[in-house]
Amino acid sequence: MEANMVTAIDSKSSATYVRRLEHLLDASRLLNSTLELSELTEIVLRIVQDEIPVDRCTLFVVDRKQKLLRLFIGLGGHAAVTGEPLDIEDAYADERFQQKFDEQFGYRTKDALCLPVFNCDGVIVGVLQLLNRTRPLNREDKEFLDSMCTYLGLALHNAWVHRELVESRKAEQELRQIRDRLEQAEKLSAMNELVAGIIHEMKNPLAVAIGYCSLMEEEVTAPVTERVSKVKTAVAQALKVAKNFLNFARSAGERVPTDVNSLITQTTELLTYDFRSRRVKLVCELDHLPITWVDPGSIQQVLLNLLKNAHQAAGDKAGGGTISIRSSHNSERSTIRIEISDDGPGIPAEVQSRIFEPFFTTKPSGSGTGLGLAVSKRIIEAHWGKLTFESTPGQGATFIIELPVHESTF
């Protein structure tokens, strides 16, 4: 009878041993099949809870960059610091136990076993924590857990190496993109200076042409005078555009008393040809605004960026779209408000949270640096103002500038 009982026990132990070996082989295969930490965690917890009589199993992963446990407190944190297993029979009697987690999750921890997990170099990479055993752990249970921790250490090490490699490649790619965009921005800046120099050289001949037109008006007959007057008006308009461009391109950054409506008018005049070429209609509704101290060149840069974006959006509309620009003054809040609206496709919901990020652009490669809105927002905020937007996909977009009115420099 006793011999039969011993044989039955040995048979049961052998079956358990074989099953656990199979589970360890499965664990090794599965852990080597993925490099994602979330998948590794799920695999480990599922296998451990199938084999070990515990109510709850948790894997804490050590952050290799900061060299600390993500939950660097409590029993798991202690095991991570010491690198030694921690077996607690009564969790609430141990001062290292954090009761707040039980309160947070509505759980009651009775006992805890925390096992440090090491990689192939002997560096701790995680802690496996088991709570509330349904029976005492025997030697086979502990050997199984030791083996699991070995496999897990290798898998976590590989996952971290993979993650660091991916992050390194991603960082290299981002740096390459930033370098390319900065180079493009530098080229645009150099081109801006070049064009400004050309227009400066054009300005003098235009001024001379206006002077000779005035002289001719005094010396010719009426029919010719009318034609000379038209030439004079056209040259004067060209000279005005040249001056507007130079004011924008060569702003010294000094804040001076400024008529913001005048800046709006000058900027729209710079884009007159662009609007006309794409059949974009411009509607201006400018209320009387008080004079305020701003850097006119910087504010004009913001207006130009927003109007060019609106022009691109409205210009894509069949038959040409409409851009509206409105200004108003709130005397109670002592603010100036400028709204620039277009009836284009609007801003997609999935990118709205990113449009003010430096180098973020939805334009095709080579047609935008992704700096326009980021720089514009910075300029407005430097004036103690706000740059916001409202957009419903398919119904256009409105960008809103709010500037405080300053009657003296600051």
Residues shown for the chain: 410
Superfamily of domain 17-169: GAF domain (3.30.450.40)
- On whether the CB atoms of residues 320 and 314 are closer than 8 A, the answer is yes
Determine the pLDDT at residue 194.
Answer: 63
Determine the pLDDT at residue 146.
Answer: 86
Determine the pLDDT at residue 283.
Answer: 93
Q: Is 396 exposed, middle or buried (0-12, 13-18, 19+ CB in 10 A)?
A: buried
- Of 75, 73, 106, 107, the closest CA to residue 88 belongs to 75
350/328 Cα distance (integer angstroms):
31
- On whether the CB atoms of residues 314 and 344 are closer than 8 A, the answer is yes
Q: For every one of its 410 residues, what pLDDT tens digit does the chain have, with 9 covering 90 and above?
A: 443 433 443 544 566 656 666 666 666 565 565 667 677 777 777 778 778 888 888 888 876 655 444 445 688 888 888 889 999 899 899 888 888 888 888 899 999 999 998 888 888 888 889 999 989 888 888 888 888 888 788 877 777 777 778 877 887 777 777 666 666 666 656 666 666 666 666 766 777 777 777 777 777 777 777 777 777 777 777 777 666 666 655 555 678 899 999 999 988 888 887 888 888 999 999 999 999 999 888 898 899 889 988 998 887 777 778 999 999 999 999 999 999 999 988 888 888 888 888 767 776 655 555 677 888 888 898 899 999 999 988 889 999 999 999 876 54
Determine the pLDDT at residue 4.
Answer: 42
The pair phi, psi for residue 351, each rounded to 5°, is -115, 0
Which is it for strands 281-286 and 322-330: parallel, antiparallel or unpaired? parallel
With a CB cutoff of 8 Å and minimum separation 6, the contacts of 397 are 310, 313, 341, 342, 344, 346, 347, 389, 390, 391
Determine the pLDDT at residue 183.
Answer: 65
Determine the pLDDT at residue 197.
Answer: 67
Determine the pLDDT at residue 9.
Answer: 37
Instruction: Report the CATH number of the 251-410 domain.
Output: 3.30.565.10
102/105 Cα distance (integer angstroms):
5
> pTM score, two decimals?
0.46
- Domain parsing of the chain, residue ranges: 17-169, 251-410
